[in-house]
Amino acid sequence: MIAVMLMSVALIAGLCVLAYRLAVYALPFMLAVEAARFAYATGSGSGSGLIGVGLVGLVAGAVAYGLLVFAFTSLRSPVLRLIVALVFAAPAAMAGYALVHGVTGEAVPSEVWWQIFCIMAGGFVGMSAVLRLAGGAVGRNS
């Protein structure tokens, strides 16, 4: 029984880490899904089926992330860099907020503390998205 409880805790921790890593890429993922939906709706993927639609989405997500990193590195104005960082971080912050809001819904009895935890998680995931964007930019420069 104790082994099952420990495995459950390890699984939940692993899922939280996975959700955090995926929330950082919320904007490129959202753009990839929308590109795949558009390709499927227009029949672009009908010749190759779902694999072709998946490839369209994968390429769109990679291009979106690459363009964001390129824009972040090539822009010299701090205001424009901040705008690019906020465009990248806003969906990630919303995803982090929603993740903690859903996971801790029954665990936190106080509504005030629940919102504090959710806002802190959203800020944490948003800042980590900015740092991930800056890390990709640093990796491209060196």
Q: Is the pLDDT of residue 106 over 90?
A: no
pLDDT at 112 over 80: yes
The sign of the CA dihedral 3, 5, 7, 10 is negative
Q: Is residue 1 part of a domain?
A: no
Residue 8 lies in a domain: no
Collect all residues with Cβ–Cβ distance below 8 Å to 33 and sequence separation of at least 6: 57
- Tell me the pLDDT band of 62, cut-offs 50, 70 and 90: very high
CB 97 within 8 A of CB 122: yes
User: Per-residue pLDDT for 98 more than 90?
Assistant: no
Which pLDDT belongs to residue 32? Answer: 92
| 5 belongs to a structural domain | no
Q: Read off the pLDDT of each residue in 32-49 and give the average, rounded to a whole number.
A: 80
Instruction: Quickly state the pLDDT bin for 58 (edges 50, 70, 90).
Output: very high
* Mean of all residue pLDDT scores within the chain: 81
How many domains are contained in the chain?
1
**Widest distance between CA atoms in the chain:** 58
Q: Is the pLDDT of residue 122 over 80?
A: yes
Which pLDDT score, from 0 to 100, does residue 63 have?
94
Distance (Å) of CA 68 to CA 44, 82, 116, 130, 139: 26, 12, 30, 11, 14
Better-scored residue on pLDDT, 85 or 47: 85
Residue 54 lies in a domain: yes
Q: In the prediction, which pLDDT does 142 show?
A: 43
Range of the domain at 94: 21-141
**14, part of any domain:** no
